[in-house]
Every structure is written in C-alpha cells, then in structure tokens.
C-alpha cells in the first residue's frame, strides 16, 4: 500500500515534470519559428528589392536601346 502510494506520487511528479518540459520545448519551438519567419521575411524583402533594382536597370537599358534603334531607323529613313 505504501509502495503503491509512493509509486503513484512518483508517477505524478514525473508527469508534472514532463508537462513542464513539453511546455518549455513548445515555447522554444514557437520562438525559433518566429525567429526563422522574421529572417525569411527579411530575406524575401532583400531579394525583392534586388529584383526590383535589376528590373529597373534592365528596363532603362531596354529603353536606351529602343531609343538608339529608333534614332538609327529615323536616320535610315531620312537617307532613303
């Protein structure tokens, strides 16, 4: 009877310890997910800004090339 009570008390103690540990691990996991999420968002923002800058650069190059070709075409038409 005393042994059974001791066993029950020990199981209760271990169960409570397990619950505390699971809660701690879940909190750690949530914090890590939040951290990784913030890192991912920052990286996406950085890559997005780089992409926009590259598109702007390529757009400017394309416009300059079109202007150049247009001027060449006008010059050729004038020659004819």
Q: What's the pLDDT score for residue 79?
A: 94
Q: Which residues of 6-17 are buried (b: 16+ CB within 10 A; e: fewer)?
A: eeeeeeeeeeee
If you search the block for the tokens 């247009």, which residue do you land on?
A: 70
pLDDT 10s digit of each residue in the chain, 80 long?
Answer: 899 999 999 999 999 999 999 999 999 999 999 999 999 999 999 999 999 999 999 999 999 999 999 999 999 999 99
Q: Is the pTM of this model over 0.75?
A: no
Give pLDDT tens digits for 48-68: 999 999 999 999 999 999 999
The DSSP string of 5-30 is HHHHHHHHHHHHHHHHHHHHHHHHHH
């Amino acid at each position: 009877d005393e042994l059974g009570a001791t066993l029950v008390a020990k199981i209760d103690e271990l169960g409570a310890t397990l619950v505390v540990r699971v809660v701690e691990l879940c909190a750690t996991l949530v914090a890590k997910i939040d951290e990784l999420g913030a890192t991912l968002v920052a990286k996406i923002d950085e890559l997005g800004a780089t992409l926009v800058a590259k598109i702007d650069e390529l757009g400017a190059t394309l416009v300059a090339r079109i202007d150049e070709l247009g001027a060449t075409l006008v010059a050729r038409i004038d020659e004819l």
